[in-house]
Structure 1
Amino acid sequence: MSVRLRGSALLCALALPGTLVAEVLADGDEAIELGTIMVKGEALHRDDIPATVNRVEAERFEEMTAVRIEEVLEEVPGVEIGNYNMGGVANVIKMRGFTGGAHGGDVAVYVDGIPLNEGESHADGYADVNVLIPLEIEELEVFKGPSSVLYGNFARAGSLAFHTRQRGEYAKAKLTYGSFDTWDAQGAFGLSLAEGLYNNTAIQGASTQGFQDNSQWSRINASTRFTWDLNERLDLALSLRAHQSDWDAPGYIPKSLFDAESTDQAPNAEDDGGEKSFYSERFDLGLSLSEELRLLYWLYGTQQDFTRFAKFGYDPGGQTERNYDRSVWGTGASLNLDAQLADKPLTAILGLEYYDEDTDWLRWDTSNRARLDKTEDRTFNITTFSVFAQGEWELSRYFRPTLGLRYDSFGGSYDNRDPDGEPFDSDMNDYDHWSPKLGFRSLLIEGLDLRASFSEGFSLPDGEAKYQTDLDVSPEVIRQYEIGLSYDPIEALSADLALFILDTSDEIQEYPVGSGLYKNLGETRRTGVEAAVLWRPLEGLTLSGDIALIDSEIRSSNDAALEGKEISGVPDRISNLSAEYRSPQGIGGKIKWRHVGKYYIDDENSERYDGYDVVDLGLFYERPLGGNDARKLRLGAEVKNLFDEWYSQSVWSGYGTNNYAVSWPRTYWLSMSLDW
């Protein structure tokens, strides 16, 4: 019965836009100004969301010198990147005390509304942002915790919403060359092709030899978007994206090699690496039903083929080949209201979405990429039906409440054809969850805005456990409590402070250990404070800093010895301090210091990594072209890791030692960018 209900809702979502479009085309003379196409939640005013939302603007993406696009997240308070230095393998994102974002399921990642998270492949929630091009990004929104009603599964630590450029006439190019024969060439342009018809296109080619043995990596990205304003009420968009990547991976090294500051691979290392192809398509429709009400409709697809060769441990042998052939389609619609209620501004959204993902999962034992025995042959299907609603009402400057609610339900199937076992298939256990989001903002005095919120998220059982018919558990529950202050007394000064508690309950754990039985019994707590300030004391001079202090505790566990321990991998402190100067003549420079504090690397809290400090220094020269500020040439030179810190952003304990993915040493970079 539930499947028939979902199907009916889906058919309504597919049929409604076509009916309304026909009406608009038949009567298109009513002038209603079109806004920029926004996926899902156009009406929601981001400045009124009562939880922390950090933004990274296009300028940062354009100026960044980085091997990987996710390094821009180091601009966001409290975020650390666990860099594996393994080419096209997605790095982990640590945020608000969670340590499995992007390489696991702790962070939801979207680009223009297309989810990058993989429900059932390399890891639940795996999300590869290597498919994105820095020059195409208009803005990145980082929602902290499960605070956004727009995102459900995998959004427990937060959500990343990448928005690409729409419309506009521009042309941008950037070429970067750096140490270890590393180069990155990007181009992006926006065109007005005809009256109401626009195109935005970007392309990137990048390659590096890497600083360790067996660390070469190359990739090509391309994206294009066509936007058509049919009349004053209706706009359409078609977006396409392609990615191809090939890499070698040095793997982890043991403590003995790390202490010796060796760039060699570990003993008995093999030819790890992989390759990936990724394609996505998206259709968007925006229809203004009136001056106050707007309909958004979307339909998207993703096709992906991902192969990884990986070996863990230091004994001879043990490499595997893992192949994930993935196909996704999804559709949805939302009604967006921007109106007055009792002469007070009211914004609201009501939406629904359907998602279907198929993954063919294959695995072989290998030796230096040569196949030996086939060990796994599986097919997973996951379907998700979601409904979300939220309203923001500005009753007064002192009380601007927000109330939201999201519902997610999951189904699917699992087909196991492993060579050494008896074939079987199983339907996914039915899981669903209601996630409330509520809070308020209050402008206490001019420039001082208070926010307070409560939001809830969830987590499903890992991997094939979701399809285990005798597993009688409910989704894990994540609850965030947050209070914050933003202070913008003058244009030259801004500051933000947030205090949060994140509680997880009903964690799914094996009990008794080794029994194969699971219960909802684990509990953890994460508490923290995030603070950031930006000050422009002089013309051209910008000083900025941020700090995050995080504490974690395992409050209940199937292993009583772990209760009271800290969660492994969570740094106790993350901070940034930078100064940037731009002279009237266009000459400038920037220096940045980043500190990541100590953290435990095992569950028992017996082994600890002391963290690291890195300083980057850069100089640049900008010159307008032809007397037009929009046209400019920028030349840059940068030294990253100025003091040649030997460190790792990914450390863990296992195989009788501590294991390290070594981070890049001191590197030198030259760049040239052109806007015209």
Structure 2
Amino acid sequence: MTLNFLRILLFVLALCGPVGVAPLCAQTTTAASLRGTITDSTSGQRLLGVGLRLEGAGGSNSAVTATDELGSFRFSNLAPGVYTLRAAGLGYGARTQTLTLRAGENKALTWHLPMVALSLREVTVAQPRDPNQTLAAITHIDQVLRPVNSAQDLLPLVPGLFIAQHAGGGKAEQIFIRGFDVDHGTDFNVSIDGLPVNMVSHAHGQGYADFHFVIPETVDALRVYKGPYTARFGDFATAGAGEFTTKTSVTNSLAKLEIGRFDTRRAVVLLDVLPDGKHLFSKQAESAYLATEYTFTNSYFQSKQHFKRFNGMGKYTGLLSERTSLMLLGSHFTSTWDASGQVPERAVRAGLISRFGAIDNTEGGSTDRTNATAVLTTTLPGDAVVRQQAYYSRYNFNLFSNFTFFLENEDQGDQIRQTESRNIYGYTGTYERNGQLGNRALRTTVGVGTRIDDINVALRNAVKRQVTGTIVSGPVYEQNLNAYLEETLSLTDKLTVNAAFRADYFVFKFQDAAADSASGRATKGRVSPKLNFYYDLNPQVQLFARSGFGFHSNDARAVVVNRGDSLQALPRAIGYEVGSTFKPVPALVVNAALWALHLQDELVYVGDGGFVESSGRTRRFGVDLAMRYQLSRILFADLDLNYNHGRAVGELQGENYIPLAPSFTSIGGVTLKQPTGLSASLRYRHLNDRPANEFNTVRARGYFLLDAVVSYTKGRFQVGATAENLLNVEWNQAQFDTQSRLPGEPAEGVSELHYTPGTPFFIKGNVSVSF
């Protein structure tokens, strides 16, 4: 299959070349072209992803495209004649114009689109620029409608994704999506402004995706990619990927204050640095802003959590010339907290502690992260765009945990301390060109990149946060080199094929401070082909069939010890799906997909114990359904339904369950949305009961929760309130079947459900002012 796939790509390249300059791809001398830029009429900022449709007289010669990173678009190789051009972006007013193109003419336009109230009638289901983003219409709607009040609200913007907090609020959330318990991120790739969030070879768990360094008020957009079908993503992108981007500019400065139950306080400031046409580096369009956030809460546990978090961020975006833009971003995040740990059910039944109590209340930790990145985007002659990004992150992590209580040490307890300090260096570069293959549109993308993680990591024993011994420690070095080639060809006016392959090469090194036998070096490579088809039945219906290989890496400490076993490094995944995004009526947008995903081996480095667990081969299949409906001009409804079925391959019936893998999840709500006056939202979350071990003898408990948000806006002021768990139900967040021992119990301990209790009824109010 891989060989045939490469032959297809080589055939395309032989005809057109990687940058579309062969004679077959050249325009005819009598052909016309149309290019232009789209900007926001208020801020003047160039808009990415605005859809454009060009139709010849009588509906002939139809073509679609979308604006690039510089807000630019181009239609090439056009026959002379009369055309109608229409531009539309979600939340922006549409514009239509009739044009006459003469032979050999290269016409240029600049359009300014005004912001308008959200209308689902304007949503288009085809994604001409990024066909792999089949959830684009859904996520664009959610970004406008769904309330985001904390960093924990950002990841659940991904349709079908659920999170659970382990303890204390300072750790990365546990993630559930498409039948996966991906722990803290082993199978879901997360990034923000091109910065990778997932941490390789992390002290607490592979793929650790701590998203708390992001200020939610600065987030502008989210692109969701489910499955391993997109060449841009490599490590961890098996169940999917989420690309977040922050705002290019802020229309007004903002100050916001929140106060809630459990001593909760939060303050946010966004400051526009370049108001009223001021400039820093050039006389072209520029924007810059600063953002800060401070959060404190004692949470709802009996032992106060003393959770504190500070975020600071600055971002600059500007046009250095008509063809070149520069983005600079810097941020710093720090957080400290105490935690109560997981609760064993038997301790609550016996009355030893309450649901919000603790066996060991000396857990907790601290973490910080500093980021710096620069992105240079240049439009070259010939309708090509080059994007280059360099980034650096400095990261520290310190965590005290106790999951087994007194199982290993009946006198002093089993507390552990996980620490690491990390430097991340990275570069990504892409070259993208819109060309022609005969008279058909061809977009070629070439990408290269590297990421280096230089880490010092340790796992130690501790008693009440005092270290008593070392289990494993030493420096880790991990580097990923990658490249990919992607071709998107319009075979007909309705059918598009997207074909790609990606190559990844990893270098793993670990030097154990105490044991040479656990030290070493290993290398491993992966080639991941992708093949996707998209068929626009009409402007209201797009069908798709997608397939691709992917992988997730494993912890370097496990890889070097087991370097003779290739599965220990980069276990492969293969996925495929069919589905559709369609509008049965103008105000209803639906996305449906039937999917399957096979993993070669689910290997997990257990940072809490310093060892590797393997669950062998697995297979999953499921159905995703997302619907967004506009009931009236200001009233909207949404619903996500996700069914998943997963089992281990090669295990006996009844012993082949995948622990904690959800089989059914659902999210939905009704939202009243107005630019001024009253806005409100009532939402529910449901996750079903599921096996907590391979034998289904212990069950993790599901839940159904109601949340509400209300706000009132007048002029520059807004007041509001958020209520979580309106029905005040008892529910569990993170849940595990764990072998633990309480004082006085037999040495072998007891295996049963341990959980982190979910939030009881919680309410907070907020007030903000724009200036």
Residue among 716, 719, 724 paired with 1:635: 719
Residue among 499, 507, 523 paired with 2:594: 499
What secondary structure, in the 3-state scheme, does the structure 2 residue paired with 1:131 have? coil
Residue among 192, 195, 201 paired with 1:114: 195
Separation of aligned partners in 1, 2:321 and 2:253: 26
Separation of aligned partners in 2, 1:53 and 1:147: 15
Residue among 512, 523, 534 paired with 1:430: 523
Q: After superposition, what is the alpha-carbon deviation per residue over 1:17-68, rounded to whole angstroms, capped at 9, x for unaligned?
A: xxxxxxxxxxxxxx99696699xx95995552275557645984897364x4
What secondary structure, in the 3-state scheme, does the structure 1 residue paired with 2:617 have? strand
Q: How do residues 567-586 of structure 1 correspond to structure 2 at under 5 angstroms?
A: 567-582=658-673, 586=677
What secondary structure, in the 3-state scheme, does the structure 2 residue paired with 1:433 have? strand
Separation of aligned partners in 1, 2:198 and 2:613: 25
Q: Give the 3 Å change call, closer, same or farther, for CA 128–70 of structure 1 in structure 2.
A: same
Q: After superposition, what is the alpha-carbon deviation per residue over 1:217-267, rounded to whole angstroms, capped at 9, x for unaligned?
A: 110011112233221122222211100111111100011355679244333
Report what 2:147 is aligned to: 64
Q: How do residues 1-400 of structure 1 correspond to structure 2 at under 5 angstroms?
A: 45=128, 47-49=130-132, 52=135, 56=139, 60=143, 64=147, 66=149, 68-101=150-183, 103-122=184-203, 123-167=205-249, 169-192=251-274, 193-194=278-279, 195-196=283-284, 197-212=286-301, 213-257=303-347, 262-267=354-359, 269-315=360-406, 316-400=412-496
Residue among 641, 665, 682 paired with 1:547: 641
Report what 2:549 is aligned to: 456
Is the CA contact 1:87–1:273 (under 8 Å) kept in the aligned structure 2?
no
Is the CA contact 1:258–1:660 (under 8 Å) kept in the aligned structure 2?
no
Tell me by how many angstroms 1:564 deviates.
6.2
Separation of aligned partners in 2, 1:116 and 1:330: 12
What secondary structure, in the 3-state scheme, does the structure 2 residue paired with 1:496 have? strand
What secondary structure, in the 3-state scheme, does the structure 2 residue paired with 1:534 have? strand
Separation of aligned partners in 2, 1:191 and 1:658: 51
Separation of aligned partners in 2, 1:37 and 1:239: 19
What secondary structure, in the 3-state scheme, does the structure 2 residue paired with 1:525 have? strand
Separation of aligned partners in 2, 1:665 and 1:201: 34
What secondary structure, in the 3-state scheme, does the structure 1 residue paired with 2:630 have? strand
Instruction: Supply the AA of the counterpart residue of 1:130.
Output: H
Q: After superposition, what is the alpha-carbon deviation per residue over 1:361-412, rounded to whole angstroms, capped at 9, x for unaligned?
A: 1233221112222333211000110001212222334211111111110013
Q: Give the 3 Å change call, closer, same or farther, for CA 509–590 of structure 1 in structure 2.
A: closer
Q: After superposition, what is the alpha-carbon deviation per residue over 1:151-171, rounded to whole angstroms, capped at 9, x for unaligned?
A: 101111111211111146432
Instruction: Count the aligned residue pairs.
Output: 622
Separation of aligned partners in 2, 1:344 and 1:150: 24
Is the CA contact 2:721–2:765 (under 8 Å) kept in the aligned structure 1?
yes
Q: How do residues 590-629 of structure 1 correspond to structure 2 at under 5 angstroms?
A: 590-623=681-714, 625=715
Q: Give the 3 Å change call, closer, same or farther, for CA 220–509 of structure 1 in structure 2.
A: closer
Q: Give the 3 Å change call, closer, same or farther, for CA 669–61 of structure 1 in structure 2.
A: farther
Separation of aligned partners in 2, 1:106 and 1:145: 10
Is the CA contact 2:229–2:532 (under 8 Å) kept in the aligned structure 1?
no
What secondary structure, in the 3-state scheme, does the structure 1 residue paired with 2:168 have? coil
Tell me by how many angstroms 1:603 deviates.
1.7
Separation of aligned partners in 1, 2:354 and 2:437: 66
Per mean C-alpha deviation after superposition, the further-off stretch among 124-133 and 458-467 is: 458-467
Tell me by how many angstroms 1:148 deviates.
2.1
Tell me by how many angstroms 1:653 deviates.
0.7
Separation of aligned partners in 2, 1:105 and 1:654: 20
Q: Give the 3 Å change call, closer, same or farther, for CA 357–72 of structure 1 in structure 2.
A: closer
Instruction: Supply the AA of the counterpart residue of 1:120.
Output: S
Is the CA contact 1:441–1:452 (under 8 Å) kept in the aligned structure 2?
yes
Q: Give the 3 Å change call, closer, same or farther, for CA 287–75 of structure 1 in structure 2.
A: closer
Report what 2:107 is aligned to: none
Separation of aligned partners in 2, 1:422 and 1:567: 35
Q: Give the 3 Å change call, closer, same or farther, for CA 493–104 of structure 1 in structure 2.
A: closer
Is the CA contact 2:181–2:660 (under 8 Å) kept in the aligned structure 1?
yes
Instruction: Supply the AA of the counterpart residue of 1:672.
Output: V
Report what 1:28 is aligned to: none
Q: Give the 3 Å change call, closer, same or farther, for CA 95–264 of structure 1 in structure 2.
A: closer
Tell me by how many angstroms 1:113 deviates.
0.9
Report what 1:408 is aligned to: 504
Compute the TM-score of the two structures, normalised by the length of structure 1: 0.86
What secondary structure, in the 3-state scheme, does the structure 2 residue paired with 1:642 have? coil
Gaps in structure 1 of 5+ consecutive residues: 1-30, 511-515, 626-631
Q: Give the 3 Å change call, closer, same or farther, for CA 120–236 of structure 1 in structure 2.
A: same
What secondary structure, in the 3-state scheme, does the structure 2 residue paired with 1:48 have? coil
Is the CA contact 1:183–1:208 (under 8 Å) kept in the aligned structure 2?
yes
Instruction: Supply the AA of the counterpart residue of 1:647.
Output: W
Q: After superposition, what is the alpha-carbon deviation per residue over 1:523-544, rounded to whole angstroms, capped at 9, x for unaligned?
A: 2111111111111122211111
Is the CA contact 1:554–1:567 (under 8 Å) kept in the aligned structure 2?
yes
Separation of aligned partners in 2, 1:216 and 1:152: 38
1:471 and 2:564 equivalent? yes
Residue among 435, 441, 444 paired with 2:537: 444
Is the CA contact 2:624–2:642 (under 8 Å) kept in the aligned structure 1?
yes
Tell me by how many angstroms 1:579 deviates.
1.2
Separation of aligned partners in 1, 2:159 and 2:170: 25
1:525 and 2:619 equivalent? yes
Report what 1:4 is aligned to: none
Residue among 472, 484, 508 paired with 2:579: 484
Is the CA contact 1:528–1:550 (under 8 Å) kept in the aligned structure 2?
yes
What secondary structure, in the 3-state scheme, does the structure 1 residue paired with 2:212 have? helix
Tell me by how many angstroms 1:651 deviates.
1.0
Q: After superposition, what is the alpha-carbon deviation per residue over 1:572-604, rounded to whole angstroms, capped at 9, x for unaligned?
A: 211122112246972232211221111001122
Q: Give the 3 Å change call, closer, same or farther, for CA 582–425 of structure 1 in structure 2.
A: closer
Q: Give the 3 Å change call, closer, same or farther, for CA 72–230 of structure 1 in structure 2.
A: closer
Is the CA contact 2:641–2:666 (under 8 Å) kept in the aligned structure 1?
yes
Report what 1:14 is aligned to: none
Q: After superposition, what is the alpha-carbon deviation per residue over 1:494-528, rounded to whole angstroms, capped at 9, x for unaligned?
A: 11111111111255699xxxxx9999x93211111
Tell me by how many angstroms 1:107 deviates.
1.3
Instruction: Supply the AA of the counterpart residue of 2:576.
Output: Y
Compute the TM-score of the two structures, normalised by the length of structure 2: 0.75
Separation of aligned partners in 1, 2:554 and 2:470: 26
Instruction: Supply the AA of the counterpart residue of 2:754.
Output: N
Gaps in structure 2 of 5+ consecutive residues: 1-34, 39-45, 50-67, 74-126, 407-411, 606-610, 740-749
Alignment RMSD (CA, Å): 2.9
Instruction: Supply the AA of the counterpart residue of 2:253.
Output: A
Separation of aligned partners in 2, 1:57 and 1:217: 32
Instruction: Supply the AA of the counterpart residue of 2:177.
Output: M
Larger radius of gyration: 2
Separation of aligned partners in 1, 2:459 and 2:368: 18
Instruction: Supply the AA of the counterpart residue of 1:646.
Output: E
Report what 1:674 is aligned to: 769
Fraction of identical pairs, as percent: 23
Is the CA contact 2:490–2:497 (under 8 Å) kept in the aligned structure 1?
yes
Tell me by how many angstroms 1:563 deviates.
7.1
